[in-house]
């Protein structure tokens, strides 16, 4: 007869739904990249560009991600010079290792949802995760990525009624 003690399994509460808002300021200049929800594996950001975009070819080694244009227009390019126009309610999927750059190509601000998920074969944390085709790191908020200082339009928001 087995008399070993029975291990008690701790019961944990399952996660609750996360409700989030897409309210984001419009920009006079530059861009905003605003985290609106996250889990250990998934992130949702709002991005607003007054002009420009991510103007140097790069890839992300730690995630798959997608952009969904909500307002304005985006032109996206691959590392071979191909380009696509993405209009409102259209999106683009960028798997880990996809080289791209983009810019706002329509009138007014470009507003988009950015959804990203960690990939299981992520590089070690001490390695650059956002890199150019030659393997050198490219920081998103850098001058070399043609980042302009952000200037928010006071009192003007995308999805203002979302709270």
Q: Domain residue spans in the chain? A: 32-138
Whether 142 and 31 have beta carbons less than 8 Å apart is answered as: no
Specify the CATH architecture of the domain 32-138: Sandwich (2.60)
Instruction: Give the pLDDT of residue 9.
Output: 64
pLDDT in tens, the chain (163 residues): 556 666 666 678 998 999 999 999 999 999 999 999 999 999 999 999 998 877 899 999 999 999 999 999 999 999 999 999 999 999 999 999 999 999 999 999 999 999 999 999 888 888 888 899 999 988 877 777 778 889 999 999 999 999 8
What is the spatial distance between Cα 154 and Cα 133, in angstroms, rounded to a whole number?
38
Query: C-alpha 71: how far from its chain's center?
Result: 16
Beta pairing class for 74-78 and 83-86: antiparallel
Residue 47 to residues 16, 96, 151: CA-CA distances in angstroms?
Answer: 25, 20, 14
């Amino acid at each position: 007869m087995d008399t070993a003690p029975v291990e008690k399994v701790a019961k944990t509460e399952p996660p609750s739904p996360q409700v989030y808002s897409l309210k984001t300021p419009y920009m006079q200049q530059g861009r905003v990249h605003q985290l609106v929800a996250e889990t250990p594996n998934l992130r949702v950001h709002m991005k607003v560009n007054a002009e420009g975009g991510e103007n140097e070819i790069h890839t992300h080694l730690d995630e798959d991600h997608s952009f969904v244009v909500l307002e304005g227009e985006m032109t996206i390019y691959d590392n071979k010079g191909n380009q696509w126009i993405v209009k409102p309610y259209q999106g683009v999927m960028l798997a880990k290792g996809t080289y791209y750059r983009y810019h706002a190509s329509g009138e007014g601000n470009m507003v988009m949802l950015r959804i990203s998920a960690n990939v299981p074969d992520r590089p070690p944390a001490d390695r650059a995760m956002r890199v150019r085709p030659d393997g050198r790191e490219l920081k998103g908020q850098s001058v070399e990525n043609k980042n302009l200082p952000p200037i928010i339009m006071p009192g003007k928001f995308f999805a203002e009624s979302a709270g």
